[in-house]
């Protein structure tokens, strides 16, 4: 490991079948007014909404609700939530849902008492937050983003056709998150696969950088292997508790910053997907699945040794007798097979991208990258490969 780092993650995790039992005890640590946030209705169908509301009533809380948070949460919903927080003097924002609900909750947390336009200040200029931050907590219903244990908040500004993300300091992390793998059983297969690939992509984005001997790379390889193994089981048997719990924990640790320590990291696949999402509103993990293979084929020669290591240590490929290029390709090929196994899309057309969007997506994507610094032209080349 060669880069200095500070590690601190204040999110308390309650994990397992009985984890919701901890909610009432946690609620005692906060004031009376709670903003309860959820998505478009899955929590009502599953019965989780009723359970949470009963616990809130039992804890004698005044509950204000913000429902209908959409996948790829919008800035207009964030502003609505910020208004509710101010008007009701909210003491705790409780997000019950997937990454979209939790990301929106964090966005509301930092925006409610922000002077000026939070979008410009926090998601465009990445300013530090000096105003009051309202505590956030979560009950997770879908595994993938890792939002339950980090300070990330990805918001779509529909008026500007921009999906911008940022990581806030750890005081914006959920104070506690309740992770019951059984709550993920009702996630539709496509969304489950999308979440699994989102986690895989987080691990890859952190893995593909650097050439030092870094403990973090070994951790990443281990988490990837666990995720791949459990993904295969969950695709066949969606109520396999062991597989769903492994997937849920892989997702949380996959982006709780421990898997990025002392790493430069890449994140260009995410930057490209965010703009695909801004134009098509596609499922985040599905967009990542389309971009990943062409992107890694494009950059592999700039970090060839790591791609060889990926083939050997993550996919268990015997690369004896192969050239480095062949070995690297075999690993990326195994990633493509994994995407196929997850039944995710492999072309931008399947996501609703039209040809005229390609230059717009390329030019609005934040250029970055790990082994190769990407220009707008490079991004356009990758997009053409996966169109
Ligand atoms: O809205 P409801 O009805 O709840 O349905 C949701 C939604 O349609 C459904 N769902 C969730 N849990 C369910 C369920 N359906 C049945 N049973 C359940 N238990 O699944 C759909 C997708 O939910 P969503 O929250 O949008 O998915 P995800 O967790 O993948 O979050 C995606 C958002 O997170 C951002 C993405 O860009 C995207 O905006 N990300 C956040 C990150 C972070 N905070 O660190 C990092 C990621 O890279 C990502 O960018
Ligand atoms: Zn992601």
In CATH, what number is assigned to the domain containing residue 106?
Answer: 3.40.50.1970
In a domain, 1, yes or no: no
Average pLDDT in the 223-242 region? 98
Reported as half-sphere exposure (CB side, CA atoms, 13 A), residue 101 has a value of 28
Flag whether the ipTM exceeds 0.85: yes
Residues 179 and 196 reside in one and the same domain = no
Note the pLDDT tens digit of each residue in 123-142. Answer: 999 999 999 999 999 999 99
DSSP designation for 137: E
The answer to whether the CB of 177 is under 6 A from ligand 1 is no
Atom of ligand 1 nearest to the CA of 191: 20
Distance CA 353, CA 287 (A): 10
- At residue 220, the pLDDT reads 98
For the chain, what percent of residues have pLDDT higher than 70? 100
Note the pLDDT tens digit of each residue in 354-374. Answer: 999 999 999 999 999 999 999
Residues 129 and 173 reside in one and the same domain = yes
Ligand closest to 143 (CA) is 1
Among protein residues, the one whose CA lies closest to atom 9 of ligand 1: 187
Distance 271 CA to ligand 2 centre (A): 10
- At residue 132, the pLDDT reads 98
DSSP designation for 367: P
Report how far Cα 76 is from the mean position of its chain's Cα atoms. 21
Report how far Cα 146 is from the mean position of its chain's Cα atoms. 5
- At residue 7, the pLDDT reads 95
Please name which of 87, 77, 85, 84 lies closest in space to residue 156, comparing C-alpha atoms: 77
Note the pLDDT tens digit of each residue in 93-110. Answer: 999 999 999 999 999 999
Give 75's pLDDT tier (boundaries 50, 70, 90). Answer: very high
- At residue 226, the pLDDT reads 98
- At residue 164, the pLDDT reads 94
Q: What CATH code is carried by the domain that includes residue 277?
A: 1.20.1090.10
Residues 31 and 147 reside in one and the same domain = yes
Last-in-domain residue among 165, 183, 201: 183
Please choose from 45, 95, 100 the residue to mutate so as to test ligand 1's pocket, defined by most ligand atoms within 8 A of CB.
100
Q: For the chain, how many structural domains are there in total?
A: 2
- At residue 36, the pLDDT reads 98
- Do the beta carbons of residue 75 and residue 119 sit within 8 Å? yes
Distance 328 CA to ligand 2 centre (A): 23
Please choose from 75, 97, 273, 279 the residue to mutate so as to test ligand 1's pocket, defined by most ligand atoms within 8 A of CB.
97
Residues 193 and 84 reside in one and the same domain = no
Residues 208 and 132 reside in one and the same domain = no
Give 92's pLDDT tier (boundaries 50, 70, 90). Answer: very high
- At residue 101, the pLDDT reads 98
Close Cβ partners of 116 (under 8 Å, ≥ 6 residues apart): none
Residue 263: Cβ within 10 Å count: 23
The answer to whether the CB of 147 is under 6 A from ligand 1 is yes
In a domain, 267, yes or no: yes
In a domain, 197, yes or no: yes
Residues 139 and 197 reside in one and the same domain = no
The answer to whether the CB of 41 is under 6 A from ligand 1 is yes
The answer to whether the CB of 78 is under 6 A from ligand 1 is no
For 377, the domain range is: 189-386
Note the pLDDT tens digit of each residue in 32-47. Answer: 999 999 999 999 999 9
Last-in-domain residue among 183, 218, 248: 183
Residues 179 and 260 reside in one and the same domain = no
In a domain, 7, yes or no: no
Ligand closest to 199 (CA) is 2
Distance 98 CA to ligand 1 centre (A): 4
- Reading phi first (left if > 0) and then psi (alpha if -120 to 50, else beta), residue 112 is in alpha
The answer to whether the CB of 103 is under 6 A from ligand 1 is yes
Ligand closest to 200 (CA) is 2
Ligand closest to 277 (CA) is 1
- At residue 23, the pLDDT reads 98
Residues 225 and 360 reside in one and the same domain = yes
Average pLDDT in the 194-201 region? 98
The answer to whether the CB of 107 is under 6 A from ligand 1 is no
Last-in-domain residue among 183, 209, 239: 183
Cβ burial 84-111 (10 Å sphere, 16+ → b, else e):
bbeeeebbbbbbbbbbbbbbbbbbbbbb
Give 317's pLDDT tier (boundaries 50, 70, 90). Answer: very high
Q: Is the dihedral of CA 125, 279, 374, 327 positive or negative?
A: positive
Q: How many secondary structure helices (H) and strands (E) does the chain include?
A: 16, 8
Residues 82 and 214 reside in one and the same domain = no
Close Cβ partners of 369 (under 8 Å, ≥ 6 residues apart): 266, 268, 299
- Do the beta carbons of residue 375 and residue 284 sit within 8 Å? no
Among protein residues, the one whose CA lies closest to atom 48 of ligand 1: 145
Distance 89 CA to ligand 1 centre (A): 27
Distance CA 354, CA 290 (A): 14
Distance CA 197, CA 186 (A): 18
For the chain, what percent of residues have pLDDT higher than 90? 100
Strands (E), 160-274: 162-167, 176-179
Residues 122 and 199 reside in one and the same domain = no
Give 88's pLDDT tier (boundaries 50, 70, 90). Answer: very high
Residues 267 and 138 reside in one and the same domain = no
Among protein residues, the one whose CA lies closest to atom 36 of ligand 1: 284
Give 24's pLDDT tier (boundaries 50, 70, 90). Answer: very high
- At residue 30, the pLDDT reads 98
Close Cβ partners of 170 (under 8 Å, ≥ 6 residues apart): 8, 9, 10, 11, 151
Give 119's pLDDT tier (boundaries 50, 70, 90). Answer: very high
């Amino acid at each position: 490991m060669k880069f200095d780092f500070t590690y601190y993650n204040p999110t308390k995790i309650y994990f397992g079948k009985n984890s919701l039992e901890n909610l009432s005890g946690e609620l005692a640590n906060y004031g009376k007014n709670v903003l309860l946030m959820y998505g478009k209705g899955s929590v009502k169908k599953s019965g989780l909404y009723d359970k949470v509301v009963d616990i809130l009533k039992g804890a004698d809380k005044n509950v204000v609700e913000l429902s209908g948070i959409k996948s790829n949460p919008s800035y207009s919903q964030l502003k609505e939530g910020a208004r509710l927080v101010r008007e009701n003097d909210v003491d705790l924002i409780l997000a019950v849902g997937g990454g979209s609900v939790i990301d929106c909750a964090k966005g509301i947390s930092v925006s409610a008492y922000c002077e000026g336009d939070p979008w410009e200040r926090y998601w465009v200029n990445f300013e530090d937050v000096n105003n009051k931050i309202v505590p956030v907590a979560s009950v997770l219903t879908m595994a993938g983003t890792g939002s339950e244990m980090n300070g990330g908040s990805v918001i779509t500004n529909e008026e500007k056709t921009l999906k911008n993300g940022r990581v806030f300091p750890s005081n914006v992390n959920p104070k506690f998150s309740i992770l019951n793998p059984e709550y993920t059983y009702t996630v539709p297969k496509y969304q489950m696969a999308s979440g699994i690939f989102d986690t895989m992509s987080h691990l890859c984005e952190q893995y593909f950088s650097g050439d030092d001997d870094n403990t973090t790379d070994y951790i990443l390889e281990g988490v990837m292997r666990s995720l791949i193994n459990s993904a295969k089981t969950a695709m066949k048997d969606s109520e396999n508790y062991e597989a769903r719990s492994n997937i849920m924990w892989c997702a949380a640790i996959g982006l709780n910053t421990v898997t990025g320590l002392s790493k430069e990291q890449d994140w260009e696949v995410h930057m490209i997907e965010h703009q695909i999402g801004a134009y098509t509103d596609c499922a985040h993990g599905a967009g990542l699945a389309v971009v990943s293979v062409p992107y890694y084929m494009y950059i592999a020669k700039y970090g060839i040794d790591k791609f060889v290591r990926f083939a050997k240590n993550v996919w268990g490929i015997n690369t004896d007798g192969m050239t480095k290029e062949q070995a690297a390709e075999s690993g990326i090929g195994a990633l493509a097979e994994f995407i196929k196994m997850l039944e995710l899309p492999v072309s931008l057309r399947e996501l609703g991208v039209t040809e005229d969007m390609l230059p717009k997506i390329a030019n609005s994507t934040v250029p970055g990258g790990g082994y190769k610094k990407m220009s707008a032209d490079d991004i356009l080349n990758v997009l053409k490969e996966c169109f």
